C-alpha cells in the first residue's frame, strides 16, 4: 500500500480530533449520524465547497458537523439546511422545540454562513441554480421512491464533479430503500465509496468537472482496493472511537448524577454510606478500564500513521 505524505498527515489529524459542536445533540453516542461526524469534517477540509445543501437536518448532527468544519477552517462556504422540522414516518414526528433549538444554535454559532430553509425539499429546489451545489447530503425520507425522487430532482443542481452523500445505505428493514437506489447508481459510477458503519454513508461524485486536487479524496473515491480500503478502515476506526468516547462520557455523567443522589441519601446512614463507597470504587475501575479499551484502536492507528510518516520522510 502506498499512502502519500499528504494522506498520512490528513488522517493523523483525526487521531486527536476534538468535536466543538453542540454536544447535547450527539445524544451520548446514540444518534444514527454520529459515526460520520469525523468524515464530515474531513470532506469539508478536503473538498473546500462553496455551497453545501442538506436535505433532512432534524436536530442537526450532520449539519452542525459540516458547519463546525467550515467555521474552524475559515472557508467561505454557504451552508443550507432544508427541512420542514416536523419529522416523517421513519424519523418520527416531533415537536416545535427541535426547530427552536436548531434555530438558536444556528443563530448563535453559524449565522454568517448557514441558512435554514423550512420547507419541503421540492419547494426548496427553486432557491438553487443548476450546477450551483458542491456537496449535497440526502437524508430525508428513506423509502426507495422518496430517495430516488430526491436524487433525480436535485441532481441538476449539483455541479459536475460535485459530491452527493446518501445516509442509511446499510439499512434494509422498516421500508428503507436507499440501499436499492445506491446499488443502481454504484453499478454505473466511477468515483464512489461507502462507509458501512453508523447505518452506512455512501459518497458519490457526479461525473465531469476537473480531477480532484486532494489526494485523500482522490484515493478514497478511486475504488482502488490497495489504498481506498485501508483509508476507509482508518476512518471507520477513528469514527468508532469518536462514538464510543461519547458513550463513555454519557455513562460518566450518569454516574456523577447517581453518585450525587447516593451522597444525599446516605448522609445519615452509615450502612448506605459504606455501600456507596464500595460501589463508587467498582464503577471507577470499570470506567478507567473502559477508557483504556476505547482509546486502544486510536493509539494503534496513531502509532501506525506516525511510523509510516517517518519512513516517508
Ligand X SMILES: C[S@@+](CC[C@H](N)C(=O)[O-])C[C@H]1O[C@@H](n2cnc3c(N)ncnc32)[C@H](O)[C@@H]1O
Residue (11 or 170) nearer to ligand X, CB: 170
Answer for which of 14, 15, 39, 57 binds ligand X (CB under 6 A) is 57
Question: Which residues, at least 6 apart from 121, have a Cβ–Cβ distance to it below 8 Å?
Answer: 55, 82, 140, 150, 153, 154
Report the candidate in 98, 99, 96, 21 with the shortest Cα–Cα distance to residue 61: 21
Answer for which of 15, 139, 227, 235 binds ligand X (CB under 6 A) is 139
Residue (82 or 301) nearer to ligand X, CB: 82
The answer to whether 58 contacts ligand X (rule: CB under 6 A) is yes
| Contacting range for ligand X; rule: CB under 6 A; set: 139-147, 252-260, 279-287, 294-302 | 139-147
Beta strands in 140-289 (DSSP E): 158-167, 192-195, 201-205
DSSP letters spanning 27-57: GGGTSTTGGGHHHHHHHHHHH--SEEEEE--
- As measured in angstroms, the least distance from the Cβ of 160 to ligand X is 25
The answer to whether 33 contacts ligand X (rule: CB under 6 A) is yes
User: For the CA atoms of the chain, what is the radius of gyration?
Assistant: 22
The answer to whether 83 contacts ligand X (rule: CB under 6 A) is yes
The answer to whether 291 contacts ligand X (rule: CB under 6 A) is no
H or E segment at 116? strand 114-118
The answer to whether 140 contacts ligand X (rule: CB under 6 A) is yes
The answer to whether 141 contacts ligand X (rule: CB under 6 A) is yes
Give yes or no for a contact between 182 and 150, defined as CB atoms under 8 angstroms apart: no
Give yes or no for a contact between 42 and 216, defined as CB atoms under 8 angstroms apart: yes
H or E segment at 266? helix 225-266
Q: How far apart are CA 270 and CA 278, in angstroms?
A: 13
The answer to whether 28 contacts ligand X (rule: CB under 6 A) is no
The answer to whether 59 contacts ligand X (rule: CB under 6 A) is yes
Give yes or no for a contact between 39 and 65, defined as CB atoms under 8 angstroms apart: no
- From residue 84 to residue 123, the character string flagging contacts with ligand X as x (rule: CB under 6 A) and all else as - is x-xxx--x----------------------------xx--
- From residue 225 to residue 264, the character string flagging contacts with ligand X as x (rule: CB under 6 A) and all else as - is ----------------------------------------
Binding site for ligand X (CB under 6 A): 33, 56-59, 61-62, 83-84, 86-88, 91, 120-121, 139-141
Amino acid at each position: 500500500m502506498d499512502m502519500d505524505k499528504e494522506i498520512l498527515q490528513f488522517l493523523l489529524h483525526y487521531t486527536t480530533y476534538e468535536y466543538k459542536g453542540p454536544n447535547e445533540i450527539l445524544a451520548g453516542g446514540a444518534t444514527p449520524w454520529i459515526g460520520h461526524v469525523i468524515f464530515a469534517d474531513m470532506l469539508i477540509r478536503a473538498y473546500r465547497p462553496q455551497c453545501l445543501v442538506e436535505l433532512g437536518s432534524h436536530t442537526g448532527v450532520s449539519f452542525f458537523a459540516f458547519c463546525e468544519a467550515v467555521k474552524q477552517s475559515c472557508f467561505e462556504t454557504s451552508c443550507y439546511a432544508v427541512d420542514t422540522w416536523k419529522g416523517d414516518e421513519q424519523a418520527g414526528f416531533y415537536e416545535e422545540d427541535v426547530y427552536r433549538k436548531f434555530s438558536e444554535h444556528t443563530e448563535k454559532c453559524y449565522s454568517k454562513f448557514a441558512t435554514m430553509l423550512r420547507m419541503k425539499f421540492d419547494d426548496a429546489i427553486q432557491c438553487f441554480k443548476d450546477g450551483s451545489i458542491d456537496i449535497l447530503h440526502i437524508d430525508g425520507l428513506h423509502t426507495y421512491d422518496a430517495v430516488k425522487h430526491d436524487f433525480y430532482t436535485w441532481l441538476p443542481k449539483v455541479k459536475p464533479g460535485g459530491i452527493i452523500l446518501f445516509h442509511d445505505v446499510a439499512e434494509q428493514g422498516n421500508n428503507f430503500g436507499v440501499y436499492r437506489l445506491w446499488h443502481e447508481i454504484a453499478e454505473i459510477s466511477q468515483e464512489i465509496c461507502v462507509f458501512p458503519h453508523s447505518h452506512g454513508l455512501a459518497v458519490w461524485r457526479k461525473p465531469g468537472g476537473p480531477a480532484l486536487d486532494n489526494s485523500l479524496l482522490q484515493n478514497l473515491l478511486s475504488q482502488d482496493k490497495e489504498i481506498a480500503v485501508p483509508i476507509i478502515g482508518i476512518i471507520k476506526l477513528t469514527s468508532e472511537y469518536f462514538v464510543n468516547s461519547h458513550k463513555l462520557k454519557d455513562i460518566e455523567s450518569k454516574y456523577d448524577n447517581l453518585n450525587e443522589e447516593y451522597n444525599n441519601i446516605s448522609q445519615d446512614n452509615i450502612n448506605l454510606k459504606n455501600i456507596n463507597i464500595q460501589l463508587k470504587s467498582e464503577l471507577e475501575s470499570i470506567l478507567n478500564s473502559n477508557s483504556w479499551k476505547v482509546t486502544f484502536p486510536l493509539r494503534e492507528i496513531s502509532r501506525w500513521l506516525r511510523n509510516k510518516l517517518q519512513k516517508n520522510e
